[in-house]
Chain A
């Protein structure tokens, strides 16, 4: 493993967006950042700014209003980047499935790399999902190019 992929694996910075959900997964995501789970021990910092982020954590599905925001945030993240869809809503719109305002899961709007199941997803599962996404960005330059291809 070279130094660059090591650094990418050890330093995934996050931007989190809550598309259209009950907020349960968002709370579980923030629980993963608290001293109990301490995501920062893996170098993860919640940046709140897409321009500094490597990984986008999406909770909740995409609806007609939030699709524009999700797309905008995604395009502001510099490559290499990865997307983690947290919870069944972000995966397939879950309990909101077929509602008139829903587009579906987050993958209806942007390419998703890691799906974390659960309603709400457990913090342990969220941590594993984020670290998997970090490994994806570390996979040489393929992480970035893969997204460009899509």
Chain B
């Protein structure tokens, strides 16, 4: 590919990701409201929120906050673009982990005890989800013999057939990464209930909160794409698997209460790593 098509792919991916992520977040809020017997906000509510935030007064606690808000958005966008361009899956995972680290550092950069506690929790979430995600990539490598997304997507049989337990553990890890209940320890993106005020987002405000909000949409699309990769032989089924993941996380979000951090670690390390390890051992037999 030449430079021009790279630029076009990148711009299209980011624009499409923002649109899809915003709409999915709107659907999430509407369905959540309906599940709670409410009317709920309009479908375009997330876009209204971001436009409003973007036009609010710029207040920063310290200059480092600016850096971390932009870094978070940049790395979530970069991980999605790399995924769409079909690059190395391990590399993509590390790039997306950088985004979470930017959020952690943004929380640590201010004096607010709420941010500080939430940053520690975000690190625990990282420690819980990342090993499971890496095992999913290892499983994909053992099945297809390649780490690149384009090769994994081009594999003749769906990954789901050889890695069913890995997919289950991936569902768990996606819930942790998207901070859905019962794994919403570090921040609650858009619900009436609060956890350590707004968690790592407490001290971000106005346009910088809007950047993080958009980053969270891209993160949502990224992980749904990741889940869809497990049935990449057919585009419709891949999209279906991504949407299935989305609705499953939504329902679980609405029917479960919040875990403590120790429960989170136990679930992710025993359940998540356990399931993935059993599946990978079975591949070897």
A interface with B by C-beta (< 8 Å): 3-4, 6-8, 10-11, 13, 33, 35, 38, 40-43, 45-49, 51-52, 54, 78-80, 144
The A-contacting residues of B in range 116-142, CB under 8 angstroms, are: none
Number of residues on chain B facing chain A (CB within 8 A) = 33
Provide the residues of chain B in CB contact with A8, threshold 8 Å: 52, 55
Q: Quick check: is B12 within 8 A (CB to CB) of the other chain? A: no
B interface with A by C-beta (< 8 Å): 29, 33, 36-42, 45, 47-49, 51-52, 55-59, 190-192, 194, 197-198, 201-206, 209
B209 to chain A, nearest CB (A): 6
CB pair B48 A40 closer than 8 Å: no
CB pair A43 B56 closer than 8 Å: no
CB pair B52 A54 closer than 8 Å: yes
A10 to chain B, nearest CB (A): 4
Total A-B pairs in contact (CB under 8 Å)?
83
A124 to chain B, nearest CB (A): 15
A-B contacts, 17 listed (Cβ < 8 Å): A4-B55, A7-B47, A10-B42, A11-B45, A41-B33, A41-B38, A43-B45, A45-B191, A46-B192, A47-B198, A48-B198, A51-B59, A51-B203, A51-B204, A54-B56, A78-B57, A144-B57
> Contact check: which of A7, A42, A45, A46 meets B51 at CB < 8 Å?
A7
B111 to chain A, nearest CB (A): 14
Provide the residues of chain B in CB contact with A51, threshold 8 Å: 59, 202-205
B274 to chain A, nearest CB (A): 37
- In the complex, A79 Cα to B37 Cα: how many Å? 34
CB pair A4 B51 closer than 8 Å: yes
Given A11-B45, A38-B39, A78:B59 Cβ within 8 A: yes
